[in-house]
Structure 1
């Protein structure tokens, strides 16, 4: 893995790069089982939407981390959302404890298997574990039942299946499995 890649959080003025990387992610063959948004939806969004998304990517208890190449190209991303205890989550289920939720995981195909994804996750988790008031006791993510490659990576990284299963919002016949990583 080339150590020249920088893992950092997105800045509010980087909306065009946020948009570019998201569209690249949605063009990936795994996108239908990796993301809850389609390429058509993303491409139809206004510049204002992307500007707001970039502003929100580094605000409060939410961070989008990117892997930036020496030439400035973004080659990967992961976002940490803090879910507060008692507040309904995306699946409309009350969160039982304040926790981190990893979403939007993407690494360009030519960077997969190089250690870049591990470095992105390490940066995101370092930030998540540093939060106080209250400190996060775990981080979770969801994996589509047909996304074996992602599930294998998450397990190698230390995430374990919790047994919690939810239907995929756009396809209630499909399932997503929750994986959790407790605070070290």
Structure 2
């Protein structure tokens, strides 16, 4: 595999924006992301600068890892956030222990099936474990069976926590967790 897996740098906000916009155009984006292409496109450059700085190399509370192709093009991304015990998560659920939360997973369709997602996940987990988290979790739409199969293969198991979606009251997100071994 001739790809570089590394943390994003703060000054690379424009590339991070472009990859996010591409991800939001994916046919299953409605199952994988909590925002639309139109919502992301409307955000000002200052938002993208701040977002990249908050997950860039050297940041303590979050890290975005990317897969960079042989020509320098970004072909995949994954972000892990640190959630502190005693806080509430994005859905309002209490966080009872120091944990990582994987979000924003995307690999370009032409690069899927070659192991990039596994390598991105390994890098994200290594970063999270290095921060002392007790477990890593992620939320997957109940209909996103491809993602569920990938995470199960990586050792994640359903926790039983179900997150209702406000945009679609009939849809649910399922929490999967990986305990530190």
Q: TM over 0.5: same fold?
A: yes
Residue in structure 2 matched with residue 166 of structure 1 by the alignment = 163
What pairs with 1:122-133 in structure 2 (closer than 5 Å)?
122-131=122-131
Q: How far off its partner does 1:171 sit?
A: 1.7
Q: Give 1:71 deviation, angstroms.
A: 1.1
2:148 matches 1:151: yes
The residue aligned with 1:61 is 61
The alignment's TM-score, normalised by the length of structure 2, stands at: 0.96
Q: Which residue does 1:31 correspond to in 2?
A: 29
Gaps of at least 5 residues in structure 2 are none
Gap regions ≥5 residues in structure 1: none
Q: Tell me, in whole angstroms, the C-alpha distance in 2 between the residues paired with 1:86 and 1:41.
A: 31
1:182 partnered with 2:174: no
Structure 1 runs of 4+ aligned residues shifted over 6 Å read none
Number of the residue aligned with 1:137: 134
Q: Does 2:114 match 1:114?
A: yes
The residue number in structure 2 matching 1:12 is 10
TM-score by length of 1: 0.95
The DSSP-based 3-state class of the residue aligned with 1:100 is strand
Give the total of aligned pairs. Answer: 179
**Residue 76 of structure 2 is aligned to residue 79 of structure 1:** no
